[in-house]
Amino acid sequence: MITEGYCIVPNVLTDGFVAELTEETARINATEEHHPDTKYQGTHVGVKFEENAAMKRLSEWQPSRDALTQIGFGDFAPGQGLLVLTKPAPDPPSIGIRIGDGGTIH
């Protein structure tokens, strides 16, 4: 986490929640205007928790909170929203969800 800026923790998100987040990021991706110059890095979309229930649930997901505590980041506090990195097909794939200043969930 300290060196790379993210970590992957298996078995934290359920298959159903991953499916919900995948559907939600696809919806965000489909409704966001993409500039041609962002083909490789994608578009950063700010999502406010008050406007998006799925992303708010992600920020409050207890198994994620427990995992953060176990790796020494139990004091992590999400802000008012998160960034969703989106890329339209057929651009090179890269979708991630970044929470706060240091937590990325792939």
Task: Please give the full DSSP string across 37-90, using - where no structure is assigned.
Answer: GGTTT-EEEEEEGGG-HHHHHHHH-HHHHHHHHHTT-TT----SEEEEEE--TT
In a domain, 49, yes or no: yes
Q: What's the confidence (pLDDT) of residue 52?
A: 95
Residue 26 lies in a domain: yes
Asked whether residue 3 is domain-assigned, the answer is: no
Q: How many CB atoms lie within 10 A of CB 24?
A: 19
Domain-located, residue 8: no
75 neighbors 40 (Cβ within 8 angstroms): no
Residue reference for tokens 């406007």: 51
Give the domain extent around 79: 15-105
- Whether 23 is covered by a domain: the verdict is yes
pLDDT of residue 6: 74
Establish if 10 belongs to a structural domain: no
Range from 2-11, 34-43, 61-70, 74-83 carrying the lowest mean pLDDT = 34-43
Distance CA 8, CA 38 (A): 25
Whether 62 and 86 have beta carbons less than 8 Å apart is answered as no
Model pLDDT for residues 52-106, shown as the tens digit of each residue: 999 999 999 999 999 989 988 889 888 899 988 776 666 555 545 555 544 444 4
pLDDT tens-digit readout, 18-32: 999 989 988 888 887
The pLDDT score that the predictor gives to residue 89 is 63
Q: What's the total number of domains in the chain?
A: 1
pTM of model > 0.95: no
Nearest CA among 54, 6, 8 for reference residue 28: 54
User: Would you say residue 9 lies in a domain?
Assistant: no
34 within some domain: yes
